[in-house]
Amino acid sequence: MAELDVVAIGNALVDVLSHAGEEFLRAHGLAKGTMQLVDEARARELYAAMGPGIEVSGGSAANTIVGVASFGGRAAYVGKVRNDQLGDVFSHDLRAMGVGYATPVATDGPSTGRCLIVVTPDAQRTMSTYLGASSRLGPFDIDKRLVERAQILYLEGYLFDRPEAQEAFRVAARIAHAAGRTVALTLSDPFCVDRHRAAFVDLVEHHVDVLFANDAEIRSLYEVADFETAAARVRGHCAIAALTRSERGSVVVSRDGVHVIEAEPVPKVLDTTGAGDLYAAGFMVGLSRRLPLATCGRLGALAAAEVISHVGARPMRSLADLAGAVLR
Amino acid sequence: MAELDVVAIGNALVDVLSHAGEEFLRAHGLAKGTMQLVDEARARELYAAMGPGIEVSGGSAANTIVGVASFGGRAAYVGKVRNDQLGDVFSHDLRAMGVGYATPVATDGPSTGRCLIVVTPDAQRTMSTYLGASSRLGPFDIDKRLVERAQILYLEGYLFDRPEAQEAFRVAARIAHAAGRTVALTLSDPFCVDRHRAAFVDLVEHHVDVLFANDAEIRSLYEVADFETAAARVRGHCAIAALTRSERGSVVVSRDGVHVIEAEPVPKVLDTTGAGDLYAAGFMVGLSRRLPLATCGRLGALAAAEVISHVGARPMRSLADLAGAVLR
């Protein structure tokens, strides 16, 4: 048995969350529901235009790994911050959840990365990311022993936005496979898929055991208009693909079959930030306990429902408590 | 007519909010519902023990002035941060609400102050404050022209915890009175009153026009066991005293009479942080528009109800919209 359930690698970011109307997105050329990379000057300009915010640790794979820990999973994270106040916040919030985190902190260069998130009245989030110190993650930050110790290696697609991080990604995947571990990937964002389509298709079809993608991402990957075609295509190439469809639930395809899982009802959706991240957390907790795929999907749906019912991308309740009987 | 409605002076802090059970308070010797000052080492130790948090701009008088701005009031703030990431967050969040903020930023010395807030399941907050750069506020930071321009000068009692800030407080109060302005004070915290009782009694009875205090604070000021005795005592000495009593509403005493104002019903109290701060905001907005004292209290109750119905000490909705007909 592996010593850890999941080790996740991603861009270490602190979220700055603020509410605004649709006109803010138009005025600043932001495409709703997506993530765009920005440089420091643009981040400063956007922040100055944003309303009052709250700061909360984020980063897609970091949100996922906190979800894994909240379910009671044994978890570790790899990602880079600087030795500054927001870096301290990020590290504290991981460790306070019991997530192992020992990536060397940058002592010079750009400040800790920030994700400026505008939440519109429809609860959709639109993200502008300044990678900052997280962009300094490279292959030398991958601890071979750590990756070998975890049953599942989880990688975020956003890593592909930097060549050095891509290389870290490939090094980690090779180590995991050599140790007989499972490699999981999330496509992260349809625009991110656009930017790296060929590389992602190669990864998904030859190097990834478990794929996470939402409707827009999987259609973007295969450049097809309908979900069913994309789902059929990925089914032929990847051992397990968990495809999320917001309020329409998720579809888990594997060589053995197709499972359709309903979304968990939510009294009021307040902020969709982290929905996909937390779905992946629940799903991998199920996988690590060798539960049936439909149960994995159900755990994902539970975790996603928790995180969209409040502002912020990390769970505010114990997911182990929430899952209750499903896990026991 | 004054150019500004309210100028507030206080300790500029960023809140770090985290949930914990009663056992956390016991284990760390924290008295529920109060504020204690801590040094940097103790702050670091407490933070390390706390669960994951969210960071949000705070500071008692700063919360109040943001409330004034949210009601549509013309507002400015005086308080000190450092040129660091949390200092940027604090400044941004004030300016994004339209609050004038031009206090010189510290370029050396301690980092921006932090208030570590533990919220227990009963929604009570317990605060440990590391003053940091906010303790560098002194009389030279008081802009005479700014204070003269505002109809009401609002001061937080927490300023009395440092001799330099006390001096800034007295300088500002003298300027305001010389310009024919109103001086308002909040007692801030029963332990703060304990620490500075004689000075506060002198202030309240000779230098303050409008006093804000909660039940525990006003009883502590006069060292009496019952609220009625304390209310009668302050009525003889201070032009207006607005005394808050949590779910029992508030009592406004003045030479002309006594008004009892009911608390605004709240579906669910999530976090009481900022209740008193926002009450003061609503009350002063009413005063600045020369509304009857009972209406001032009603505006205070509305603002307090908004802030306790979510996590964080600053309004998440427009208080002008919320007040609606009361203000028009």
CA-CA-CA-CA torsion for A172, A174, A180, A181, nearest 10 degrees? 30
pTM assigned to the model = 0.93
- The span from the CA of A232 to the CA of A285, in Å, is 25
Instruction: For residue A313, list chain B residues with Cβ-Cβ distance below 8 A.
Output: none
- In contact, A319 and A305? CB cutoff 8 Å: no
Rounded to whole angstroms, the Cα distance separating B134 from B137 reads 6
Whole-Å CA distances, B284 to B115, B182, B188, B190, B287: 25, 10, 16, 22, 5
Q: Which of B69, B94, B86, B70 is nearest to B10 (CA)?
A: B94
In tens, the pLDDT along A107-161 reads 999 999 999 999 999 988 999 999 999 999 999 999 999 999 999 999 999 998 8
Of residues A50, A55, A85, nearest to B84 (C-beta): A85
Q: Is residue A21 part of a domain?
A: no
What is the domain-level CATH number for residue B99?
Answer: 3.40.1190.20
Q: Which residue of A has its CA nearest to B51?
A: A96
pLDDT in tens, A54-104: 999 999 999 999 999 999 999 999 999 999 999 999 999 999 999 999 999
Residue B3 has what DSSP assignment? S
Q: What is the rounded average pLDDT of the residues B47-61?
A: 96
Taking CA–CA distances from B45, the nearest residue in chain A reads A92
Contact of A320 with A314, CB cutoff 8 Å: no
Question: Is residue B127, in this structure, part of any structural domain at all?
Answer: no
From the list B50, B56, B84, the residue facing A54 with the nearest CB is: B56
Q: Which of A18, A40, A55, A68 to mutate to test the interface with B (most CBs of B within 10 A)?
A: A55
CA distance A46 to chain B (A): 12
Note the pLDDT tens digit of each residue in B287-324. 999 999 999 999 999 999 999 998 889 998 999 999 98
pLDDT at residue B70 above 90? Answer: yes
Express each pLDDT in A236-248 by its tens digit.
889 999 999 999 9
* Distance from the A95 Cα atom to the nearest Cα atom in chain B, whole angstroms: 8
| The pLDDT value given to residue B305 | 96
CB contact under 8 A, B96 and A312: no
Please count the residue pairs, one from chain A and one from chain B, whose beta carbons lie less than 8 angstroms apart. Answer: 58
Nearest neighbour of B93 by CB, restricted to A52, A85, A316: A52
Q: Shortest CB distance from A92 goes to which of B47, B57, B316?
A: B47
Residue with tokens 């800030």: B165
Query: Which positions in chain A touch B85 (Cβ < 8 Å)?
Result: 84-86, 111-112
Chain B residues whose CB is inside 8 A of the A52 CB are 57, 66, 92-93, 96-97, 314
Contact A96 B52 (CB under 8 A): yes
Residue A127 lies in a domain: no
- Give the percent of chain B with pLDDT over 90: 84
Q: Which residues of A touch B (CB under 8 A)?
A: 19, 47-48, 50-57, 66, 84-86, 89, 92-93, 96-97, 111-112, 312, 314, 316
Nearest to A55 among B19, B54, B96 (CB): B54
- Report helix, strand or coil for B180: coil
Measured at the CA of A295, the angle between CA A289 and CA A299, to 5 degrees, comes to 85
Determine whether the interchain pair B85/A111 forms a contact, defined as Cβ–Cβ distance below 8 Å: yes
Exposed e or buried b for every residue in A148-157, given b needs 16+ CB within 10 A?
bbbbbbbbbb
The arithmetic mean of pLDDT across residues A180-192, rounded, is 93
Domain encompassing residue B314: 4-12+59-110+132-326
Confidence of residue A186 (pLDDT cuts 50, 70, 90): very high
Interface pTM, i.e. ipTM: 0.90
Residue B36 counted as domain residue? no
Quick check: B2 pLDDT over 90? Answer: no
- End-to-end, the C-alpha distance of chain A in Å comes to 19
Residue A108 maps to a domain: no
Using beta carbons and an 8 Å cutoff, which residues of B are at the interface with A? Answer: 19, 47-48, 50-57, 66, 84-86, 89, 92-93, 96-97, 111-112, 312, 314, 316
Reply yes or no on whether the pLDDT at B226 is more than 90. yes
Strand B75-78 relative to strand B100-101: parallel, antiparallel, unpaired? parallel
Could you please report the per-residue DSSP string of A121-175? TTS-EEEEEE-GGGGG--GGG--HHHHHHEEEEEEEGGGGGSHHHHHHHHHHHHH
List, for residues B145-179, the tens digit of each pLDDT value. 999 999 999 999 999 888 888 899 899 999 999 99
Residue A44 in domain: no
Interface with chain A: mutation pick from B13, B57, B85, B119, highest number of A CBs within 10 Å: B85
pLDDT greater than 90 at residue B270: no
The two structure tokens encoding residue A282: 């629940």
For residue A222, give how far its alpha carbon lies from the nearest alpha carbon of chain B (Å).
39
Asked if residues B92 and B77 have their Cβ atoms less than 8 Å apart, the reply is no
Q: How far is B288 from chain A (nearest CA, A)?
A: 25
Contact (CB<8Å) A89/B55: yes
Strand duo A250-254 + A240-244: pairing: antiparallel
Total number of domains constituting chain B = 1
Mutate to test the interface with A, among B84, B89, B114, B318 (most CBs of A within 10 A): B89
Going by C-alpha positions, the residue among A241, A166, A257 that lies closest to residue A209 is A241
Q: Which residue of A has its CA nearest to B96?
A: A51
Mutation target for A interface from B92, B311, B321: give the one with most A CBs within 10 A. B92
Residue B182 pLDDT? 97
Q: Using the beta-carbon criterion (under 8 Å), do B55 and A55 form an inter-chain contact?
A: yes
**Is residue B257 domain-resident?**
yes
**pLDDT for A2:** 86
Chain A residue with the nearest C-alpha to that of B98: A51
Q: What is the pLDDT of residues A204-221, one digit of tens each?
A: 888 899 999 999 999 999
The pLDDT value recorded for residue A205 is: 87
How far away is chain A from the Cα of B239, in angstroms, using its nearest Cα?
35
Contact B86 A84 (CB under 8 A): no
Instruction: Give the pLDDT of residue B207.
Output: 87
Is B43 within the bounds of a domain?
A: no
Q: Confirm if B18 and B52 have CB atoms less than 8 A apart.
A: yes
